[in-house]
Amino acid sequence: MAKELKKRSQAAREDTWAIEDLYASPELFLEDVRKLEELVKKLKGFTEEYLIESGVHLLEYFQELEKATIILDRGLCYSQRSVDVDTGNDQYQLLSGKMMGVYHKFVTVTAPVDAWIASMDEEKIQKFYQETPKLTAYKVTIDDLRRLKDHTLPSEMEELLAASQEMGAAMEKSYSFLTDADFEHPMVKDETGEWVKVSAGRFIPLLESRDRNVRKDAFFAYYDRYEQYKNTFASLYEGKVKSNIFYAKARKYNSSMEAAVDASNVPKEVYRNLIEAVNENMHYMHEYMSLRKKLMGLEELHMYDVYVPMVAKETGKITYEQAQEEIIQALQVLGDDYVSVLKEGFANRWIDKYENEGKRSGAYSAGCYSSHPYVLMNYQYNLDSEFTLAHEMGHALHSYYSAKHNNVFDSEYKIFVAEVASTCNEALLMDYLLKHTKDKKKKAYLINHFLHQFRSTLYRQTMFAEFELLTHEMAEVGRPLTAESLKKLYYDLNVQYYGKDVVIDEEIAIEWARIPHFYYNFYVYQYATSFAASMALSKKILEQGQPAVERYLQFLKGGCSKAPIELLKDAGVDMAAKEPVCEALKMFGGLLEEMEELFCQI
């Protein structure tokens, strides 16, 4: 008998997030949608002549914009969170569609204003600040708009670009519905001989099975299903890439990558520095694969063998409650206030815990300025899920502190720093578990997990980043992104990254099709840079204590009050240089040596 997923209606209330904290009913949500529509009409009434006349008028605009943004933020959170836990629910899709319609009107109305502000004379802006001191509350937002002056178009064109974004988002939306709602997942037998559905949430746990036949069957069955839709996936991805290129060209950037990183105020050199630093240290990755092959006692190491722990599982089944308690203990080093907020999140249903039919795969933290964060999980009772929970709560508390200490605009920290707090939590959890583990087998299992984090974050996410860069460069010179060209490129990158000790199975060539982050416009490189930054910051926290903790908490409270590179410098790490990445990879090399020595003792 197949192990079927529960329907959303069967989920226990205590295992679901408190969506009612946003709106007690869809009717109240729709009331706010109507309020937002009225505010959008009001914003549309601001003309360029009126805004540039005085600081008082510009302040008036930002005060109305702030009201609208807070409602928009809350409404988007409610509608998107509702869809994500039940993607096949027509009512939720209608609510989401209505909200997105208002959102695109909002973007269309505000886009020309951004252009007007960007093109204003600097002397006039400074005069406005002097005459209207309250306007300085929005200085960070105004300065960021003016930073992009050279890439801001005349207001009519900005309005047109904004109106086109709904079409530009169609590929991502179609991809999500295809993979989360319409995709027919294959069935394989698990270790007990029972048929199980290879869902997105179950795929990696199946690849971690000690039974090689189980992971092999899951690998081939899952990727065979993606292969059946390869042309559809290629078409969707090519559409997304061309959309990115279109917007980059429209804004006079030299490349789509440059446009993406500049939106976060990150120098383009950071992206290429990461790829170069990882490629310069690729020998550690190859040594890891060689050690994996040796410790697993395999004549051939295949792609379906790279997730299963190199040593026998020693942690047993990790309940959600156990994971929660260990995370609380591990993060005590960040102080009483941090832990108090963490406990509040655990106790008050910030988290949607378990997988159900139609629920979005993976995990994330999201929320809005006027409410607590929301964390989506598909908890699987294993060490990976425990670390994922720590990771997502890192995001949640970053958002919590950022919202608490900034206005709605400045609370939106840049994507570049978004993964630092999450991976720092993971590093602190690993340190805690290793320090509280005397059993050598369990310690070896934990180090195995840590090694896997380096492999899957610093190396794998950089490989993804390289794939994104190369595919966009291909499209930018007119080369078509077909299923076969994408598969060849992705296969060759796997050969480059995994080395001679791994049999690169042909099926891995379609893996790009199952990675939703490729629709996020050069997002994935930040997992790798953030991981390197968090290794450095967690080391300082553990070694220096309170001074480092204070710097780190100030970083969490910083929002986007400074450029992300500067926020990290203040916290103690310079990500404009290659050194943090290289140092993290040296740490990876040291862990490899420790793992080999430890294995000889058990």
**Catalytic residues, which ones?**
392
Kindly state the tokens that stand for 277: 């630093």
Structure-token match 């993804």, residue found: 464
CA proximity to 105, closest of 72, 130, 77: 72
b/e string for 65-79 if b means 16 or more Cβ within 10 A?
A: bbbbbbbbbbbbbbb
CA gap 390, 346 in Å, rounded: 11
Kindly state the tokens that stand for 512: 């790009």
Kindly state the tokens that stand for 241: 């890439």
Query: Do residues 562 and 577 lie in contact, with contact meaning Cβ atoms separated by under 8 Å?
Result: no
Q: How many CB atoms lie within 10 A of CB 537?
A: 26
φ/ψ of residue 80, rounded to 5: -70, -40
Structure-token match 């009050």, residue found: 561
Kindly state the tokens that stand for 460: 């794998």
Residue type, 239: G
CA gap 267, 149 in Å, rounded: 16
Any idea what the Cα angle at residue 461 is, between residues 449 and 375, rounded to 5°? 70
Query: Do residues 319 and 381 lie in contact, with contact meaning Cβ atoms separated by under 8 Å?
Result: yes
Kindly state the tokens that stand for 240: 């997304």
Distance of CA 522 to the CA centre of its chain: 11
Structure-token match 């009225």, residue found: 38
Pairing of strands 351-352, 374-376: parallel
CA gap 535, 190 in Å, rounded: 36
Q: How many CB atoms lie within 10 A of CB 131?
A: 12
Query: Do residues 291 and 596 lie in contact, with contact meaning Cβ atoms separated by under 8 Å?
Result: yes
CA proximity to 17, closest of 89, 67, 84: 84
Q: What is the three-class DSSP state of 187?
A: strand
Query: Do residues 331 and 462 lie in contact, with contact meaning Cβ atoms separated by under 8 Å?
Result: no
φ/ψ of residue 366, rounded to 5: -150, 170
Q: How many CB atoms lie within 10 A of CB 147?
A: 14
Kindly state the tokens that stand for 398: 């970053």
CA gap 331, 338 in Å, rounded: 8
Q: What is the three-class DSSP state of 376?
A: strand
